Amino acid sequence: MIKKNRSESSIFKNKLFLILTIITGLFIFVDSRIRPQIITLAKYKVQSVVTQAANQAIIEQMEQSPLSYGELINVQRNENGEITLLSYNALEVNRLKSQITATIISKVQMIDKADLYIPIGNISNLDMLNNKGPLLHFVITPAAFVETDIESEFETTGINQVNHRIFIVLKISASALIPNYSAEVQFRTRVCVAQTVIVGKVPENISDNLHYLGD
């Protein structure tokens, strides 16, 4: 009787071990299939969400504290009225960069979550089941680190005419935090915040931070 009980106990343990092994293997298989898709989609999602927040932050900041070209750029002229030097107004530029950075971070922090859905058929890796079946729901918590910079471009638009544009450049490192998963993406975006047309010769003295693209 004792031997029989021991035998039944051993069989039960072996069956339990086999079931657990199968379940573990199934989870590993599903994870290996779905993890690359989650990470890829999470990167696109968090980039989209953060970019939207960044663009909105810039628009709101420019509406609240609009700056003209003359406030961002120092223009020096000679006695003939010709432009001899262009340089950034460091005080206004740094203030604008600081305000935009703070606004973007604040807006990203206000995003509680973003939803991500993946059809269960994608796990099979079969074309006939791709994008089919019930949706697996994942919740993304976005986070971002923002570096704000400024760029200036000159572009020839006609005879003795150069369009000078000033851009706010955002270098963003964003993370998508998902239970048991994480994804990181780095990207760069820029928005034109001021521009003017310079008529006449572009000055030879241009601040090192201003980038000339003209002929």
DSSP-derived secondary structure for 19-59: HHHHHHHHHHHHHHHHHHHHHHHHHHHHHHHHHHHHHHHHH
Q: Is the pLDDT of residue 92 over 70?
A: yes
Core vs surface per residue 128-137: b (16+ CB within 10 A) or e:
eeeeeeeebe
Comparing CA positions, the residue from 109, 116, 136 lying closest to residue 30 is: 136
Instruction: Please tell me whether the overall predicted TM-score, pTM, comes out greater than 0.85 for this model.
Output: no
Residue 20, amino acid: L
What is the structure's pLDDT at 124?
Answer: 66
What is the structure's pLDDT at 26?
Answer: 67
- Sequence ranges of the domains in the chain: 37-212
Residue 5 confidence class, pLDDT cut points 50, 70, 90: low
Cα four-point dihedral sign 20, 25, 26, 32: positive
What is the structure's pLDDT at 181?
Answer: 73
> What is the chain's length?
215
At 122-145, the pLDDT tens digits run 766 666 667 777 777 778 888 888
Residue 215 confidence class, pLDDT cut points 50, 70, 90: very low
Q: Which residue matches tokens 């609009």? A: 66
Q: Is the pLDDT of residue 149 over 60?
A: yes
Q: Is the pLDDT of residue 6 over 60?
A: no
Q: How far is CA 1 from CA 8, 11, 13, 88, in A?
A: 11, 15, 18, 94
**Is the distance from CB of 119 to CB of 134 less than 8 angstroms?**
yes
Residue 211 confidence class, pLDDT cut points 50, 70, 90: very low
**Is the distance from CB of 67 to CB of 96 less than 8 angstroms?**
yes
Core vs surface per residue 23-62: b (16+ CB within 10 A) or e:
eeeeeeeeeeebeeebbebbbebbbebbbebbeebbeebb
Query: In DSSP terms, which residues pair with 116 in a beta bridge?
Result: 138
Name every residue whose Cβ is closer than 8 Å to that of residue 39 and which is 6 or more positions away in sequence: 181, 183
For 161, how many CA atoms within 13 A lie in the half-sphere containing its CB? 6
Cα four-point dihedral sign 57, 59, 64, 66: positive
| Region of residue 101 (left: phi > 0; alpha: psi -120 to 50; beta: else) | alpha
What is the structure's pLDDT at 208?
Answer: 46
| Alpha carbons 211 and 209: distance in angstroms, whole number | 6
